[in-house]
Amino acid sequence: MSEVFCTHSNGMAVLTLRNEAKLNALTTGMLRALNGFLDEIESEAETRAVILTGAGDKAFCCGADIAEWGPLRPAEFARHWVRSGHRVFDRLARFSKPTIGAINGHAFGGGLELAACCDVRVMTPRATLALPEAKVGIVPGWSGTQRLTRLLPEPVVKEMALFGRRIGAERACALGFAAEVADDALSAAHEMAALLGDLSPQANELAKAMIHGAVGEDRNTAIETLGSAAAAASADRAEGVAAFLEKRSPKFDGS
């Protein structure tokens, strides 16, 4: 049975993909579960970071479950499967809290695209990255040609998508896709997340929004979030709300 499990400890939420019989391939149920957990974690002030990993030691996630999308008609595949995945992946990529991908095994296709949604990634030495969609007659559909190309050089993405070559952990680290290579990716991710204990959550959230604005990750939302945060902290906002509630004209002083 495929599932996503969520555990909490020391201000961290760990999301684990569990579909080991299919190398943690993603199902529609797992996508819904991921989205649900992200909604819950977003409102938990005590949770400072999210770590995403896969069950077992063979795979982080080897893509989408072909048994689910294979039988779909073209319109269903594009309209429902691809779009549903994008909604969840975009949700993770634009999450307000820091996210770490603990790539404990191979990350192929949708699994690589999922890992690309995390803020930083840690890989085990045996883990590899690949975009093998062409082997089954499709193309990357969950941002492999878009978001991934902002994280890896264009020729490297083409090497994977057009020629089917795998990228090893050391090379991924040298290219900046992985922050480090560690024998135990999950432990390394926990150590990295622990660093957040000495940092300001608000500063981190704002910095993340600013960086996303710079690279084009939901730029409009990033700009409006920063502007709204500044306005909300002003005396004018407090006066405007008070005037509305008291049914009087506001007296703004620009502070």
Q: Which of 42, 133, 191, 224 is catalytic?
A: 133
Helix residue ranges per DSSP H, the chain: 28-42, 66-69, 74-76, 83-93, 110-116, 147-151, 154-163, 169-174, 185-194, 201-215, 219-232, 235-246
Residue given tokens 């089917």 in the structure block: 164
Token digits of residue 176: 């900046």
Residue 154 designated active-site: no
DSSP code at position 155: H
Q: How far is CA 140 from CA 31, 75, 240, in A?
A: 17, 16, 48
Among residues 169, 150, 156, 126, the alpha carbon closest in space to that of 214 is found at: 150
Query: Residues 42, 46, 76, 113: which is the catalytic one?
Result: 113
Neighbours of 234 (CB within 10 A): 14
What's the token pair of residue 168? 């090893």
- Give me the amino acid identity at 78: A
Catalytic, 3? Answer no
Unique residue bearing structure tokens 């090379």 = 171
Q: Which of the residues are catalytic?
A: 113, 133
